[in-house]
Amino acid sequence: MRVSIAVSFTAVAFTLSSCASTSIAGARVYGRALHRVTVADVQAAIDADKRAPSEREHLTGAERISEVDVVSSDEIHIYHGRRLEGLWPYCVIRRVNGKWQFEVEIAMTS
């Protein structure tokens, strides 16, 4: 009986921890591939986003990074500003030849 309770507790704890998110540079970091990248990868993607073309700042209207979605081990989406009704811009950052690079900005409806 005690063994089955311990196994059940461990399974629940593992399930809850797999849904956890973290925070880097003041932004919420989450995603289905969160455990496939390192903190250094996420920071490098944020740095690539900050080095993006100057036009991006004009397009987003919000420089502050609010959320980081780890889509895969080679793709990260970085959201800017607050999630409000209407447009919520994000930038696609991809790992190319081992380096994180800004690829495109997308305006998504929330």
Q: What is the Cα–Cα distance from 86 to 41, expressed in whole angstroms?
A: 30
Residues of the chain with pLDDT under 70: 1-21, 53-63, 84-86, 108-110
Of 42, 107, 103, residue with least CA distance to 80: 107
Summarize pLDDT for 1-33 with one digit per residue, the tens.
555 554 444 444 444 344 556 888 788 999 999
Q: Provide the 8-state DSSP code for 64.
A: S
In a domain, 17, yes or no: no
In a domain, 15, yes or no: no
89 close to 108: Cβ distance less than 8 angstroms: yes
Task: Please give the residue range of the domain that contains residue 67.
Answer: 22-109
| pTM to 2 decimal places | 0.71
Give how many domains the chain has, as a whole number. 1
Residue 8 counted as domain residue: no
